[in-house]
């Protein structure tokens, strides 16, 4: 029987990974600090990764697989030091944010990365992930570094992809404001496809775990049709949105998935290594249907971490 240790296991992605391992018949142990439960069938060990003794008991046994998704380089470095010799295989879920080149279309895993974070540096997500990758790379052929881009699906806590399902659903027969669409693309990976890949692949090294590319216009139209939106769509110009304080990509008062025109490589990265090492991607329409159902269940007018409120959107539409 496969013994798996997940450093986390109670969050959105790490919980899905735990579930996938459980589906294979593995024994799964989750190390987590918070109050959320581990998936049914997993053993939950509570511990704070800032505690230097947190790995003491876990390091007394061997693990067939250790999985980590932390964005704190120090946490990853200490885990590798404490458990690296006891792990037959180590999977680290990193991010496309490690790359410093956001302009080259089709860049693969050899693309340049940001400088690694150093102790005492101000926190920066991409640099932390780079330093964490470097720590995991010391394990050599036992290590896999998975670099997802935008992870989507039901329950997504970032609210980015789901914003569009909510925006079209709440508008009904009224207008919806869209960002510039020309030459904009979207690459996403379904959370369940990503979780499955971390379990089934035998790959080592770094792999871009991201979906195939789609035109942003096509993706938004697919969401709109699946929702049944009957109103007008109003495409705004980039400068007009920026002048009115609408943000790119994510966060409050944003239009999610919209990127600056010069970021031509951010959502056009190569994913041949994923396809070549067992990655399977479900049709995007299937993910969209699941996201729409989830948004309707959670409430399309709820407070969100990303996007415009309907009041903000209507105010912008009146200003057009």
Q: Residue 320: what pLDDT?
A: 83
Q: Provide the pLDDT confidence category of residue 102 given band limits of 50, 70 and 90.
A: very high
Burial of 204 (0-12, 13-18, 19+ CB in 10 A): middle
* pLDDT, averaged across the chain: 97
Give, for 207, the enclosing helix (H) or strand (E). strand 205-209
Give the domain ranges of the chain.
3-148, 153-187+212-263+282-318
The tokens describing 218, both together, are 């096509």
Q: Residue 41: what pLDDT?
A: 97
Q: What is the DSSP letter of 140?
A: G
Tell me the CATH number of domain 3-148, given options 3.40.50.720, 3.40.50.11740, 3.40.50.300, 3.40.50.150: 3.40.50.720
Mean pLDDT of 173-197: 97
Mean pLDDT of 1-13: 95
Domain 153-187+212-263+282-318, CATH homologous superfamily name and number = UDP-galactose 4-epimerase, domain 1 (3.90.25.10)
Q: Residue 159: what pLDDT?
A: 97
pLDDT of 141 over the 90 cut = yes
The strand pairing partners of 247, in sequence order, are: 254
Q: Residue 29: what pLDDT?
A: 97
CB 255 within 8 A of CB 179: yes
Distances (CA, A) of 118 to 49, 124, 125, 140, 170: 18, 11, 12, 22, 45
Mean pLDDT of 95-115: 97
State whether the Cα torsion 12-14-20-26 is positive or negative.
negative
Beta strands in 225-305 (DSSP E): 233-235, 247-249, 254-256
What percentage of residues in the chain have a pLDDT greater than 90? 98
Give the tens place of pLDDT for each residue, 230-271: 999 999 999 999 999 999 999 999 999 999 999 999 999 999
CB 75 within 8 A of CB 58: no
Q: Provide the pLDDT confidence category of residue 35 given band limits of 50, 70 and 90.
A: confident
Q: Residue 126: what pLDDT?
A: 98
Q: The whole model's pTM is what? A: 0.96
Q: Rounded to whole angstroms, how far apart are CA atoms 264 and 314?
A: 30
Give, for 146, the enclosing helix (H) or strand (E). strand 143-148
Mean pLDDT of 198-221: 97
Q: Rounded to whole angstroms, how far apart are CA atoms 254 and 316?
A: 12
């Amino acid at each position: 029987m496969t013994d798996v240790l997940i450093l986390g296991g109670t969050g959105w992605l790490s919980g899905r990974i735990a579930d996938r391992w459980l589906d294979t018949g593995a024994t799964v142990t989750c190390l987590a600090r918070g109050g959320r439960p581990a998936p049914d069938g997993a053993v939950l060990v509570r511990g704070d990764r800032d505690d230097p003794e947190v790995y003491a008991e876990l390091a007394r046994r061997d693990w067939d697989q250790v999985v980590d998704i932390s964005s704190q380089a120090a946490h990853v470095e200490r885990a590798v030091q404490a458990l690296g010799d006891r792990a037959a295989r180590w999977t680290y879920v990193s991010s496309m944010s490690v790359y410093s080149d956001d302009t080259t279309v089709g860049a693969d895993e050899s693309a340049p990365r940001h400088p690694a974070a150093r102790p005492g540096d101000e926190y920066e997500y991409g640099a932390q992930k780079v330093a964490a990758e470097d720590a995991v790379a010391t394990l050599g052929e036992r290590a896999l570094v998975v670099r997802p881009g935008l992870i989507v699906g039901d329950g997504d806590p970032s609210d980015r992809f789901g914003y569009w399902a909510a925006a079209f659903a709440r508008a009904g027969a009224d207008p919806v404001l869209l960002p510039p669409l020309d030459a904009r693309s979207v690459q996403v990976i379904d959370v369940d496809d990503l979780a499955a890949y971390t379990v089934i692949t035998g790959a080592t090294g770094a792999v871009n775990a991201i979906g195939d590319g789609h035109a942003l216009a096509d993706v938004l139209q697919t969401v709109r049709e699946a929702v049944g939106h009957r109103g007008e769509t109003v495409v705004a110009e980039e400068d007009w949105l920026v002048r009115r304080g609408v943000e790119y990509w994510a966060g409050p008062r944003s239009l999610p998935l919209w990127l600056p025109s010069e970021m031509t490589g951010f959502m056009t990265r190569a994913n041949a290594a994923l396809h070549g090492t067992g990655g399977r991607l479900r049709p995007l329409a299937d993910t969209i249907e699941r996201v729409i159902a989830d948004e309707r269940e959670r409430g399309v007018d709820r407070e969100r971490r990303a996007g415009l409120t309907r009041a903000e959107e209507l105010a912008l539409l009146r200003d057009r």
